[in-house]
Amino acid sequence: SDHHLEYPLNPAAMDWSPHYPALPDKKVEIADIGCGFGGLLMALSPIFPDTLSLGMEIRSSVSQYVHEKIDALRLQEKEKDPKSMAYENIAVLRMNAMKFLPNFFERGQLSKMFFCFPDPHFKQRKFKARIISPTLLSEYGFVLRPGGIIYTITDVEDLHNWMRKHLEEHPLFERLSPEEEENDICVKTMYEATEEGKKVARNKGSKFVACFRRKADPVWE
């Protein structure tokens, strides 16, 4: 339960240096919520070499696995080239992303948030237990900068419709055009590089994508 989860009092109190030891002056900009085994993170690393990406995963054994995998990848690249910076820009934290996001990230810190194959048991869950809900969207809108993007993908059509509806109805978000979704390298990457995405492809299932831009803050007259 959450009693065992560590989180900082506020973003300034968070020490990121153990997670990104080679890049101490950078801030996390990309978040993979419920990253599972980390396939997306590892694929994003070379696509955004100058940006820090963070996976957030609530299951301790899974986050431990991702942590060890990232360490191993870093080491493997350093054995080839001692100056290699490969995989230094990705890390994973064990955390409940539905509860403590504003403890980790300042307002407008993030440029991208991924929700890949979330809530597999979505139908049985109560409204408030869902990872996309009106309240949580306001929180995501807080940590996401204007122009930043929320990416969603799922094989559950009902969940796709649920996420779409709530994002469409929220004043801080607008859907990307079909062309923008089609041409976004991140869409292709979450389609192909997530473990769930691969599993769905093996089973010849459908994948539903919806991406939303964080609008500018409203101006009060």
Active site residues per annotation:
119
Cβ at position 73, least distance to ligand SAM in Å: 17
CB 113 within 8 A of CB 214: no
CB 92 within 8 A of CB 70: yes
CB 210 within 8 A of CB 188: no
Identity of residue 163: M
Task: Rank residues 59 and 107 by Cβ distance to ligand SAM and give the closer one.
Answer: 59
Distance CA 95, CA 58 (A): 5
Residue in the block written with tokens 């990309």: 30
Q: Which of 11, 118, 141, 148 binds ligand SAM (CB under 6 A)?
A: 118
Q: Of the ranges 34-42, 138-146, 156-164, 202-210, which one interacts with ligand SAM (CB under 6 A)?
A: 34-42
Distance CA 49, CA 34 (A): 22
Q: Tell me: does residue 97 bind ligand SAM (CB under 6 A).
A: yes
Q: Which of 14, 42, 93, 98 binds ligand SAM (CB under 6 A)?
A: 98
Q: Tell me: does residue 96 bind ligand SAM (CB under 6 A).
A: yes
Q: Which of 194, 207, 210, 214 binds ligand SAM (CB under 6 A)?
A: 194
Q: Which of 28, 42, 43, 62 binds ligand SAM (CB under 6 A)?
A: 62
Q: Tell me: does residue 58 bind ligand SAM (CB under 6 A).
A: yes
Distance CA 16, CA 103 (A): 13
Three-state DSSP class for residue 87: coil
Task: Rank residues 7 and 48 by Cβ distance to ligand SAM and give the closer one.
Answer: 7
Angle at 97 between CA 93 and CA 99, to 5 degrees: 125
Cβ at position 131, least distance to ligand SAM in Å: 6
Q: Tell me: does residue 57 bind ligand SAM (CB under 6 A).
A: yes
Task: Rank residues 78 and 130 by Cβ distance to ligand SAM and give the closer one.
Answer: 130
With residue 64 as reference, give the H or E element that holds it. Answer: helix 60-80
Instruction: State the greatest distance between any 2 C-alpha atoms of the chain, in Å, as a whole number.
Output: 59
Positions in the binding site for ligand SAM (CB under 6 A): 34-36, 39, 56-59, 62, 96-98, 116-118, 120, 194-197
